[in-house]
Structure 1
């Protein structure tokens, strides 16, 4: 068989198509390339977005803001001192962008003006923290990105 330009072009096209086919199969079957949506119920959450905006505005109008700090015991979330701790109801959601299995939620049930997230629940890396609470029938929302 004689090897000429036409044969070379056909071999190059077949090799390129094989490479593309290999990449498509690898990306669609390998679990390390699996990317999920940020949230499972995206559209239902989108409908409640205006409520989140209003809650964030309420949190911004507070004289004293929510403070998040790291301690040797874990992550300390301090609520405004003007609030009565037992009347604060809500939840703290910690979202890990790199791994969905590390996400968790903690209900707010405190006797002091702060909530402590244990260090053993937090791995090093980036966390998105959402604090949603209700005090005297008024919703508040605080969001922060933190590298722990």
Structure 2
């Protein structure tokens, strides 16, 4: 076999490799953190204001994991008018949880461990209090 044939064979093998690589990449499941990611980006200035409001607080909420589950403890929990905890599982969108935190007189909210699958979660807690919105984010491992 001469050089010309080997060059043609190498180009054909390279093209087959690229075609296989493209096929594998196209079939890969890409799960975003949020379904409406682009709409959330448009509201980013509101998010910056929430973060600034949270930084101005003397005492911030604490999100922890223990044997009972995920706990939110906050001394001023009773003055919250609306709260929402989003638990995002980056590995699997089916494990995401949304919990509405009621305006309560208690200082502690618990999400039972039985309702959550093991893995890493991003806990995003947003709440309204005294006419302002607040936001805190923690990475949790169950």
Number of aligned residue pairs: give it: 141
Report the Cα distance in structure 1 between the residues aligned to 2:10 and 2:65, rounded to whole angstroms. Answer: 57
Q: CA deviation at 1:137?
A: 1.6
The Cα offsets for residues 18-50 of structure 1, whole Å up to 9 and x where unpaired, read as 121122123223xxx211333222332122211
The Cα offsets for residues 38-87 of structure 1, whole Å up to 9 and x where unpaired, read as 322233212221111111111122111111222211011112x1x25264
Matches for 1:29-108 after TM superposition, within 5 Å: 29=27, 33-79=28-74, 81=75, 83=76, 85=78, 87-108=80-101
Q: CA deviation at 1:111?
A: 4.0
4+ long deviations beyond 3 Å: none
Query: Structure 2: 5+ residue runs without aligned partners?
Result: none
Report the Cα distance in structure 2 between the residues aligned to 1:84 and 1:17, rounded to whole angstroms. Answer: 61
Secondary structure of the residue that 1:54 maps to in structure 2? helix
Q: Is the 8 A contact 2:64 2:140 kept in 1?
A: no
RMSD of Structure 2 on Structure 1 (CA) = 1.8
Q: CA deviation at 1:106?
A: 0.5
User: Cα–Cα, structure 1 residues 114 and 20, in superposed 2: closer, same or farther, change >3 Å?
Assistant: same
User: Cα–Cα, structure 1 residues 84 and 120, in superposed 2: closer, same or farther, change >3 Å?
Assistant: closer
Matches for 1:118-137 after TM superposition, within 5 Å: 118-137=112-131
Report the Cα distance in structure 2 between the residues aligned to 1:128 and 1:26, rounded to whole angstroms. Answer: 29
TM-score (norm 1): 0.85
Q: Is the 8 A contact 1:88 1:108 kept in 2?
A: no
